[in-house]
Structure 1
């Protein structure tokens, strides 16, 4: 009988992680740079927190770039996004469950087609531009770490969160 994977390991017993793509929409000059954030609602995860305007899981067989572009269109109706890698974040919620072990790929986006708008009102209560030096409270903690790094010009290519 063939072995079947459980929630924490693949067929070869390797530990698995959940990949996600985040799009950090930016506009303006360095000293007045703004980021587009959504106020989460009805998702069951970090509701009532501000978060990147577009983010989501990478689907099986999908590149992280394709996932970021898909999420931009699905969540804020923006297409032709020009994506520049910002950082990769290995993240843990320290539960021991695979669903809580993540690799998040963050992209900067400064050029796109369309005007941002809320596409999923059941998951997003508000969508606004904020100056990086005046972010709302609260922001999803691991996303705040990235936004702070962008603001300060100190973001490393690979970061960790929750360890």
Structure 2
């Protein structure tokens, strides 16, 4: 099963999103900074690594809180994916777009006025996080 790690940065009621470009998944859609675990990597290490690779910020593993788990059935390939969403207590460094070939821009969006198009499961997870629900299931038959 693929495990995705997603970073939720919220400041003054706005969430940081990047617009995807040059990728095979969700071209031009908005999405939170995210990536997949590498072999032999813990979910905390993977999230900290992705934050540094994509945004140039450093997050200590001890400063990450898991705020939502989403079990997602991908309609495109039928694969089950576990998407984990983390909020950092603090981070060091300045947020910059370190992957312009995959992200055309970063911007802060009000949680009650998310941009379109947005990755569907991302919009779901943000709504669940706002409602303080720790788990959601998306795409699986009822």
TM-score for the superposition, normalised by structure 2? 0.90
Q: Can you give the 5+ residue segments of structure 2 that lack an aligned partner in the other structure?
A: none
- Residue 87, structure 1, aligned to residue 64, structure 2: no
Q: How large is the RMSD of aligned CA atoms in angstroms?
A: 1.5
Q: Which residue of 1 aligns with 2:115?
A: 136
CA distance in 1, matches of 2:123, 2:102: 19
Answer yes or no: is the 8 Å Cα contact 1:25–1:109 preserved in 2: yes
Q: CA deviation at 1:66?
A: 0.6
Q: Which residue of 2 aligns with 1:158?
A: 135
Higher CA-based Rg: 1
Moved over 3 A (4+): 94-97
The SS at the match of 1:159 is strand
Q: In the superposition, relative to structure 1, how do residues 95 and 69 fare at CA in structure 2: closer, same or farther (>3 Å)?
A: same
TM-score for the superposition, normalised by structure 1? 0.79
Q: Which residue of 1 aligns with 2:91?
A: 112
CA distance in 1, matches of 2:28, 2:89: 26
Paired positions, count: 138
CA distance in 2, matches of 1:96, 1:39: 22
Answer yes or no: is the 8 Å Cα contact 1:146–1:155 preserved in 2: no
The SS at the match of 1:156 is coil
